[in-house]
Amino acid sequence: MTDETPLDLAHAAMEAAPAEDAARLRFYERLADAELFLMLAAEAEGEQISPELFETPDGAFVLVFDREERLAEFAGQAVPYAALSGRVIAQMLAGQGIGLGLNLEVAPSAILIPAEAVGWLNQTLGHAPDEVEAAVEMFTAPKGLPEALLTALDAKLATAGGLAAAAYLAGVRYAGGGQGHLLGFVGAKEAAQPSLAKAASEALTFSGIEAGAMDVAFFDADDPAAAKLARAGLRFDLPQPQAPQEYRPVTPGSDPDKPPRLK
């Protein structure tokens, strides 16, 4: 298997720069967002699963793979598994003293992640942004933001398809004198707003930027503030689901460029 996965690339970048916190944070972000295939000891019973546990001199580990083919290659036979996101697996293992073995023996991203690191990841993912209300006085073009944050936001928002029409990153000045940067979502579904705010918070955290460097707000598409935000801000497009195509059967002779064949 030659195709590299996002986890392969993030792991390689982390290994190439062991002293850089930013590369390590990006790897853990990719791990949290990835769909992982968790090896089980037995077939799942409803929502109850029993991961296969491997005892090593370094502690107990469960095994996950970022492709089904990699799990099959490691096991050498058909084995039960559960497909879960990295964040769900970290939450499941937190506090149990169990680490995570990723892609062992089958990929360049093979790594043993100790229980302490799994606990840290779960705790980091559990941080939620504070809710604040403040009157916006002016939007300005964003300035001085590191490329790492812009890249993290772009990658994170690419996974939020259909949850909002667009997002804009802008400088902001509040009534009363406060200022900073704001990520404004336009046309976001109300039920999706907590998830979008958390995604923005994670992008901030995993890009190594100090907390509080960016606020998050939501605007209706017809809100005058949304138009001002769009004029000043840097736009991030969220993938939109394709509208279903109406099926219209074509009867013989209905297309003037394709006359019916006569027998």
pLDDT over 70 (residue 96): yes
Q: Quick one: pLDDT band at residue 47, thresholds 50, 70, 90?
A: confident
Joined tokens for residue 173: 């000045």
Nearest CA to 158 out of 237, 86, 85 is that of 237
Asked whether residue 23 falls in the same domain as residue 121, the answer is yes
pLDDT over 60 (residue 259): no
**Mean pLDDT, rounded, for 105-115:** 95
- Residue numbers of the domain that contains 76: 6-125
- For all residues of the chain together, what is the average pLDDT? 86
Residue 181 counted as domain residue: yes
Joined tokens for residue 259: 């006359």
Residue 80 counted as domain residue: yes
pLDDT over 70 (residue 166): yes
pLDDT over 90 (residue 115): yes
So what's the pLDDT on residue 129?
66
188-246 per-position pLDDT tens digit? 989 999 889 888 888 888 887 654 568 899 999 999 999 999 999 999 988 876 655 55
Residue 54 counted as domain residue: yes
Asked whether residue 114 falls in the same domain as residue 152, the answer is no
Q: Quick one: pLDDT band at residue 179, thresholds 50, 70, 90?
A: confident
pLDDT over 70 (residue 257): no
Q: Quick one: pLDDT band at residue 36, thresholds 50, 70, 90?
A: very high
Percent of the chain with pLDDT over 70: 86
Q: Considering its fold, how many domains does the chain have in total?
A: 2
Asked whether residue 141 falls in the same domain as residue 104, the answer is no
Residue at which a domain ends, from 125, 155, 182: 125
pLDDT over 90 (residue 105): yes
Q: Quick one: pLDDT band at residue 1, thresholds 50, 70, 90?
A: very low
Asked whether residue 226 falls in the same domain as residue 169, the answer is yes
Measured distance CA(36)–CA(33) in Å, rounded: 9
pLDDT over 70 (residue 58): yes
Lowest mean pLDDT among 40-54, 57-71, 86-100: 40-54
Asked whether residue 165 falls in the same domain as residue 211, the answer is yes
**Mean pLDDT, rounded, for 163-168:** 92
Asked whether residue 196 falls in the same domain as residue 232, the answer is yes
Residue 253 counted as domain residue: no
So what's the pLDDT on residue 178?
84
Q: Quick one: pLDDT band at residue 141, thresholds 50, 70, 90?
A: very high
Q: Quick one: pLDDT band at residue 263, thresholds 50, 70, 90?
A: very low
Residue 244 counted as domain residue: no
151: CATH: 3.30.70
